[in-house]
Amino acid sequence: MSSSYRPHLRPKLTALAALVAGAGALAVASAVSASAGDSFSCTNRTGGVAGARGTVYDIRAAHHDGYDRLVIGFPTTNSMPPYRITQQSSAHFPRDASGRDVALEGNTGLRVVFQNSDIQPGAPSDIKPRLPEIREVANVGNFERVVSYGVGLATAACFRVTELSGPTRLVIDVQTPASTTNSATSSSANQAASSAPSSLALTGHPAATALPSQPSELPIGALALAFVAVVGGTALIIGLRLARR
């Protein structure tokens, strides 16, 4: 390449480098925002998209370091249906719409209600993982497209909620006491094991057999790094070719 053209090459390479840096920052920011769930709090929660409809296909629960995780899956739904999570002082729940009392294992509870929703035939209606906090989860209502679940808890505990997509899942993490032992973790791992896929975000399987505890953290982070590597490598190849001309 003639030396008279080299000054014009530097701005192009600088702009290309800025593009790579910007793309990398955007990818990393997306990974962080997608993987970060809410902090634990002891207040009722609401969420979802107004007007969205959903069908519950699966519910799973498992213990992780510092919390028990409940995952409710809507794999055929593009958006999370509206939901409400309400704390209550007992593990007794009125069944929709009869009002009949349903007593679950535990001493306190969470009531999880989805609007514009129904349940896929064959989906679990009652699971008893008997984890340090989450003792039992049962369907206590499926009436006029309102689906309700009762979550029996060992003690009153703070919780956090994460909405995931691809497929759509609602993740509820219930904080466990610091004194929870490794033996409890091992026991819950055996109870939660099944033939389903081992993806943590999809199944709620224990951390020992799945990805890190933050939902979707590893897959998105890996994609971000791969994207930065591809763009960076392409930029380097283009720069070298331009420099040789």
Is the model's pLDDT at 57 over the cut of 70?
A: yes
For residue 177, what pLDDT is reported?
87
**Percent share of the chain, pLDDT over 70:** 57
Domain that holds residue 203: 38-211
Coil, strand or helix at 140: strand
For residue 97, what pLDDT is reported?
80
Across the range 156-169, mean pLDDT stands at: 97
Of 184, 160, 162, 155, the residue nearest 174 (C-alpha): 160
Across the range 228-234, mean pLDDT stands at: 54
Q: How many domains does the chain divide into?
A: 1
Is the model's pLDDT at 190 over the cut of 60?
A: no
Range among 10-14, 176-180, 204-208, 227-231 rated most confident: 176-180
Please enumerate, as own/partner, the contacts of 16-23 that have beta carbons within 8 Å and a separation of 24 or more. Answer: 16/235, 16/238, 16/239, 17/235, 19/231, 19/235, 20/228, 20/231, 20/232, 20/235, 23/227, 23/228, 23/231
In a domain, 243, yes or no: no
Across the range 213-233, mean pLDDT stands at: 47
In a domain, 228, yes or no: no
Q: How far is CA 153 from the centre of its chain?
A: 20
In a domain, 227, yes or no: no
Q: Tell me the CATH number at 120.
A: 2.60.40.3500
For residue 1, what pLDDT is reported?
52
In a domain, 80, yes or no: yes
Is the model's pLDDT at 29 over the cut of 60?
A: no
More confident residue, 211 or 241: 241
Q: How confident is the model at residue 237 (pLDDT cuts 50, 70, 90)?
A: low
Across the range 58-81, mean pLDDT stands at: 96
In a domain, 29, yes or no: no
Q: What is the pLDDT of residues 84-142, one digit of tens each?
A: 999 999 999 999 888 899 999 999 999 999 999 999 999 999 999 999 999 999 999 99
More confident residue, 226 or 84: 84
pTM above 0.85, yes or no: no
* Mean pLDDT over the full length of the chain: 75
For residue 59, what pLDDT is reported?
98
